[in-house]
Chains A and B, each alone.
Chain A
Amino acid sequence: MNVPKQDFVHRFHIIGISIAVIMLVLIYFSSLVTGVDFDTFMTNIDQFGVILGQMKDPDWSYLAKMKDPLLQTVQMAILGTTFGTALAIPFSIFAARNIVKNRIGRGIIRIILSLIRTLPNLLLAALFVAIFGIGPMTGVITLALFSFGMVSKLFYEVIETIDMGPVRAIRATGASMAQTVRIAVMPQVAGQFMSDFLYTLEINVRSSTVLGYLGAGGIGLYLQQTLDQYDYPRTAVIIISIFVVVLVIDTISNYLRKRLQ
């Protein structure tokens, strides 16, 4: 039997090649516009070596003072992620196509969620520092809102992949929509929700370390101070301790997420 011939477009990968060419052209033009200059990069790279040299003798005595701000950083991340996730659960249900048939209501919720997601973390922090003042509370609110935007989307995408058979069966027993979600939807998504929560927590631990830069609590404040004073031996201690904390949290979270699979 003859192998059927593919048409011209598919046979020569016209679409793939076109996209690649367009991408290259776009990258070239955006580097022109933003003024990315390879020469400047090369001439300044030795500065990197200088600072690294000053960091090679970390001021370990500073470590004890870092304990509380580090702890605060992690606490901010945990609280922010928890509040954001808790709020995301009802919203993701209302945004899920297979649960809410009302297109308009769903559309409005989805628009709100994507608007929240367009706001970068640091912008949110700057905004909330202006509203709520300096302190870890502001960090928690920032992280909560950021997690809310991200987790809601992850959650409703999970909900949209569930098996609808049990949902129909529970609905048919005379259960209300809320009861049906609790009985037939939650058990199907709980594991993935937990995994998404942990993943968001990892991201938030990382971002909460820099929020202090804007006055939103945590270790970032100290990072800013030592850098402003060119106190690189202390900066080194901060960076190393952040690195260790992030690594520990990521490892625990990864382990738990594997267990959830």
Chain B
Amino acid sequence: MENQIVLEFKHVNKTYQSGVKGLEDINFKVNRGEFVAVVGLSGAGKSTMLNSINKMIDITDGEVLVDGVDISKLKGKALRQMRRKIGMIFQNFNLVERTTVQKNVLAGRSGYYPTWKTMLGLYSKADKQKAVEELDKVNMVKKLYRRADELSGGQKQRVAIARTLMQDPTLVLADEPVASLDPKTSKGVMDDLYHLKKYENITVLVNIHSVELALQYADRIIGLRDGKLVYNKPIAEANEADLKQIYENGVEQ
């Protein structure tokens, strides 16, 4: 099977207005269907890197190619259409707490709708059906009409994954998706993310602090330290000692 590049960073730099260098000359490629774990100390630049992939933050220079298109140069409608292909999962789930699970999941589809339909809260029958199917994949159909604020953390993260699946993404970014969950729930959520890769051939990038989980799920591990890429190895070549070093050699900020 031929390797198809879904994501590529070319000489990416990000300097925050405060002068802090978030990213320094980052270069790497990710193939379709890969599960990549991004590790590094707090402040290493993991969130900065993830957020520049869907242009939630603007990079200072370089190129971020998603399916061969440099997203960092896109604006307006072209950017929104690009973002439809990129799902995002957050540590705090970021559901709209005061609405139902169903509405939260359907919201993942809004990039495909004209604004006036969204204003009226209109979604097609096919998408309502799709919402149920996506919820089924994460075992949450039974909560369809519950309000999001009635759910536990793990359940919220599952609903967030269903919301992301509504986008029909080719790439999913997860920023510490299990950092506020207990170990057992974490494993369940990581399994759900792994299924995106396994059954839907979706490329997954996960920022993660747990070396064990990284080694357990990832096809490849990328390490950051002080905004620089210091590690990039397929799982077969990666070992725990290397990873421990990424954490130990850095200076905690």
* Given A166-B94, A188-B96, also A173-B56 (CB < 8 A): no
Interface presence of B146 (CB below 8 A): no
Q: Which of A171, A183, A191 contacts B96 (CB 8 A)?
A: A183
Q: Which of B56, B90, B118 contacts A179 (CB 8 A)?
A: B118
Interface of A: prevailing SS: helix
Cα A182 to Cα B119 with chains together (Å):
6
A187 to chain B, nearest CB (A): 4
Interface presence of A249 (CB below 8 A): no
Q: Mark A172-186, 1 if CB is under 8 A from B, else 0.
A: 111110110011100
Cα A188 to Cα B54 with chains together (Å):
25
* Given A166-B95, A188-B98, also A171-B110 (CB < 8 A): no
Interface residue ranges, B against A (CB under 8 Å): 54, 56, 80-84, 86-88, 90, 92-99, 103, 107-111, 113, 115, 118-119, 121, 160, 163-164, 166-167
- Contact between B81 and A172 (Cβ–Cβ < 8 Å)? no
- Contact between A172 and B118 (Cβ–Cβ < 8 Å)? no
A188, closest chain B residue (CB): B98
Q: A173-B164, A190-B98 are in contact. List 14 more A-B contacts (CB 8 A).
A: A165-B90, A165-B93, A166-B96, A169-B90, A172-B56, A173-B87, A174-B82, A175-B118, A178-B118, A179-B113, A179-B115, A182-B119, A183-B96, A188-B97
Cα A171 to Cα B110 with chains together (Å):
10
Interface presence of A170 (CB below 8 A): yes
Interface presence of A168 (CB below 8 A): yes
Q: How large is the interface on A (under 10, 10 to 19, 20 to 34, 35 or more residues)?
A: 20 to 34
- Contact between B107 and A172 (Cβ–Cβ < 8 Å)? no
* Given A169-B88, A179-B115, A183-B118, also A174-B94 (CB < 8 A): no
- Contact between A175 and B110 (Cβ–Cβ < 8 Å)? yes
- Contact between A172 and B86 (Cβ–Cβ < 8 Å)? yes
- In the complex, chain B residues whose CB is within 8 Å of the CB of A188: 96-98
- Contact between A178 and B115 (Cβ–Cβ < 8 Å)? yes
* Given A172-B88, A173-B83, also A183-B107 (CB < 8 A): yes
- Contact between A173 and B107 (Cβ–Cβ < 8 Å)? yes
Query: Most B CB atoms within 10 A — which of A163, A169, A176?
Result: A169
B117, closest chain A residue (CB): A179
